[in-house]
Amino acid sequence: MNAEQPLLRAINISKRYEGPVGGQPVAVLTDVSLQLSHGESVAIVGPSGSGKSTLLNILGTLDEPTTGEVWCDDKRIDNLGPKQSAAFRRDRLGFIFQMHHLMPQCTAIENVLIPTLAKEGRGRAMYQRAEELLKSVGLGDRLHHMPGQLSGGECQRVAVVRALINEPAVILADEPTGSLDANAAGDVWSILSNLSRDRGVATIAVTHARHLAERMDRVLELHTGSLTVQGAAS
Ligand SMILES: Nc1ncnc2c1ncn2[C@@H]1O[C@H](COP(=O)(O)OP(=O)(O)O)[C@@H](O)[C@H]1O
Ligand SMILES: [Mg+2]
């Protein structure tokens, strides 16, 4: 790994969805390029329907661009097959979505450990890491609560910890505080940005809240499928 080289590069990404039979195709992204350095945090803002989720999904190998390339370190990742992309996501990425998507029948710490099940032979160390991470987000006394016994903000803190458990290089967060009230949103955003910074994890997070976006190193704006620099923060 070369610290000088960007961690993640999207090069001239375009995405077009074929419309229904006889309908018009929908051009969602047009010639989008971006670079993310190791440990850097970037916010993406933009109106609903501007392609934010589509871009995040392409960066996260959950969707393929129509044209363009995505690279992570020296590996091209936009054209991996299903097995390779699953392994790439497991080893390098952490995802957080607007809804926490915790398993309702599992406790907080069991939910955090789910992404580790695909890794071998690290059971006890992983349990300790999960416990330590949950303590660090103020949930040390909630380890064995079920999601139904936690507040929305607490569930989303569990989701942040779950995204970090496998020590990803990049966290991709799609409106991670979009379903929370202002106080809980501020708390979860702080936890996400501080934990990522402390652990050197690069982060790309979509949000509608301008004051949250501006806490990141850079803010980019998506508008009608094109990405522009919105303004430098800090
Ligand atoms: N699978 C799909 N098929 C066709 N159109 C889609 C699909 N997914 C998203 N779109 C369209 O792409 C546009 C961008 O969607 P999205 O990336 O979800 O925007 P955002 O996250 O910024 O709200 C929308 O107009 C949406 O209708
Ligand atoms: Mg979206």
pLDDT for 74-109, tens place per residue?
Answer: 999 999 999 999 999 999 999 999 999 999 999 999
**Terminus-to-terminus CA distance in the chain, angstroms?**
27
**pTM of the prediction?**
0.93
Paired tokens of 115: 């992404």
- pLDDT-derived band of residue 2, with 50, 70 and 90 as boundaries? low
Q: 111 alpha carbon to ligand 1 midpoint, in Å?
A: 29
Confidence check: pLDDT of 70 > 60: yes
**28 within ligand 1 shell (Cβ under 6 A):** yes
Q: Give per-residue pLDDT as tens, 128-174.
A: 999 999 999 999 999 999 999 999 999 999 999 999 999 999 999 99
**15 within ligand 1 shell (Cβ under 6 A):** no
pLDDT given at position 98: 93
Taking the C-alpha atoms of residue 174 and residue 60, their distance in angstroms, rounded to an integer, is: 11
Q: Which domains, and CATH codes, for the chain? A: 8-232 (3.40.50.300)
CA angle (10, 11, 17) in 5-degree steps: 80
Of all ligands present, the nearest one to the C-alpha of 28 is 1
pLDDT given at position 1: 52
**50 within ligand 1 shell (Cβ under 6 A):** yes
pLDDT given at position 213: 94
- pLDDT-derived band of residue 19, with 50, 70 and 90 as boundaries? confident
Taking the C-alpha atoms of residue 194 and residue 200, their distance in angstroms, rounded to an integer, is: 10
Residue 29 and residue 10 in contact, taking contact as beta carbons nearer than 8 Å: no
- What is the pLDDT of the chain when averaged over all its residues? 92
Q: What Å distances lie between residue 200 and 37, 127, 170, CA to CA?
A: 10, 21, 9
Sequence-distant (≥ 6) Cβ neighbours of residue 17 within 8 angstroms: 25, 26, 28
